[in-house]
Structures are given as C-alpha cells and as structure tokens.
Amino acid sequence: MRTLIVANWKMNKNLAEASQFIQDLLAIWKAGGPGAHSTEVVIAPPYTALSPTGEALTGSPLRLAAQDVSAHKEGAFTGEVSAGMLADIGCEYGLVGHSERRSGAFESNAIVAQKAEQLCLNGLKPIVCVGETLGDRESGDTAEVVLEMLRSSLPPPGTPGRDKLVVAYEPVWAIGTGLTASPEQAQAVHAIIRDCLEEEMGEAGKRTRILYGGSVNPQNVKSILSQNDIHGVLVGGASLDAIEFGRIFGYLDSEDLPS
C-alpha cells in the first residue's frame, strides 16, 4: 500500500504563508529521495486557503484535502461548506470526525457518518478520524471506544466510493501534546481497526489505509511507519513548517517501509 502523509494545518496560515509553504514544499519534494516519490502527500489548509493552495498544487503530485465538510448537501446552512463545493475546487480528500471537531463542535458519530457520506457522494475520499481519550485508555476501554466510534462513523453500506475511505487513528491524549503512542501501542489499535473494517466492508476493508496521528514528527515517523497496519500519518503541528514536514515525507527511505 502506498504510504499516505497528510498535513493538517488546522486554523493556521494566511494566504501569503500558505503560498510560501507550498513553494518551499514543492522544492523539497523535487529534491527528495526515493521515499518522497513513493509517498502520497496531501495538504489540508483552512477553508480560506483551500482554493489558492489547490491552484498552487495543480500539476504537482501533491493533493488537496479539506479539514471538515457540511453534513448537508446544500441549502440554508449559514457558515457551512458542502462536499460539492469542495469537489468543485479540486479537493480529493476531506477529514471528518477529528477529535477537535468531536469535542469542540460536539459532533456525534452520526454527524461524522453523514459528512463522510456527503464526501463519498461527491467523489472525495473521507479520512475518518477516531481515537480514545486518556481516561478511556487508563480504564482499559480503548478497543471498545475506538471500534464503536469507527462503526458508527462510517458512511452507510452501499454508499458509492465507500471503499476508498481512509481511517485515521488519533489517540486524543497524543494530539498536540508531544506524547506519542508507541509504535506497538498504535499497531495494536490499528490491528483491531483492520479487523473491524474487514467485518464492516468485506474485501474493501482489507485494502483500507489506516493512518496514525498524534505528535508525529521527523524523529518518530520511521518507527511508526515500520508497523504492519500503519499506512501513513496525519500530522498537525509538525506540518506547519515546510522543512520539518519535508523531513517527514521527503527523506523516508522506501526500503524501510512495509509493502
């Protein structure tokens, strides 16, 4: 499976900063080693920078993602952006169910599933985020919490394009904290996610890419990606600087990665 590296800028970067980043990143990508060229790199800017960033990426191998999407198709939903609008400006992926949306905007699994469905219906690939809190982990409930979240956040069976979705496992306690799940801890959760995806989606579930996210940086990325069921990473803080992000994908040695 091709390694997928996603930069989630969250609420950072104005247009000038976004443009400078893409210019720097493209230069790094061109100069990168074999690892750079065997990975799929996706950038998720804030809404205001989506369209210009998409234009700057045109003709490059780098892809565009939205950080969120409306659960509705169209209509009187002030402040929301539909999946169709995202498709219109060249987005290929969309994040749904990020823990900052689940906690900060009180998004339920049902809403996340509707958002994922809207993305699929408009030809975008949802990146469905799931993860346990520190409390869940300490009380031994990680597997139960993550699996319930995953099952209830998937678009309904039969949704066209459902087989292309990506899952991101992001333990809430590791996001933006500098704490990272150990590669073994992450692998253990990825393995149960894999089993669940196979149960829910059959053959397609065997091919679904499962990303890890939570304080990924150039120092820990190789050991994280060395695990069997980890097919990429979702990077927040370390994706804001082009050189640091470039180190995450640009110098990965493809021989180090599982096939």
Please count the residues of this chain forming the interface with ligand PGA, following the rule CB under 6 A: 13
Q: Give the integer Cα–Cα distance in Å for 11 and 73.
A: 24
What residue type is 125 in one-letter code?
Answer: K
Here the tokens at position 179 are 């704490």
Query: Which position has the token pair 């110098």?
Result: 251
- Among this protein's residues, is 190 annotated catalytic? no
Q: Looking at the chain, which runs of residues are DSSP E strands?
A: 3-8, 39-44, 63-66, 93-96, 125-130, 166-169, 210-213, 232-235
**By C-beta, is 3 or 8 nearer to ligand PGA?**
8
- Among this protein's residues, is 198 annotated catalytic? no
Among 40, 170, 190, 231, the active-site one is: 170
Residue 237 in contact with ligand PGA, rule: CB under 6 A: yes
Residue 170 in contact with ligand PGA, rule: CB under 6 A: yes
Only segment of 32-40, 193-201, 234-242, 250-258 that touches ligand PGA (CB under 6 A): 234-242
| Sequence-distant (≥ 6) Cβ neighbours of residue 200 within 8 angstroms | 150, 151, 154, 157
Residue 232 in contact with ligand PGA, rule: CB under 6 A: no
Whether residue 84 contacts residue 128, with contact meaning beta carbons closer than 8 Å, is answered with no
Write out the binding residues for ligand PGA, residues 144-163 only, by CB under 6 A: none
Residue 120 in contact with ligand PGA, rule: CB under 6 A: no
Considering only 61, 135, 160, 176, the residue that binds ligand PGA (CB under 6 A) is: 176
Catalytic positions: 98, 170
Q: Report the interface residues with ligand PGA, using CB under 6 A.
A: 8, 170, 175-176, 213-216, 234-238
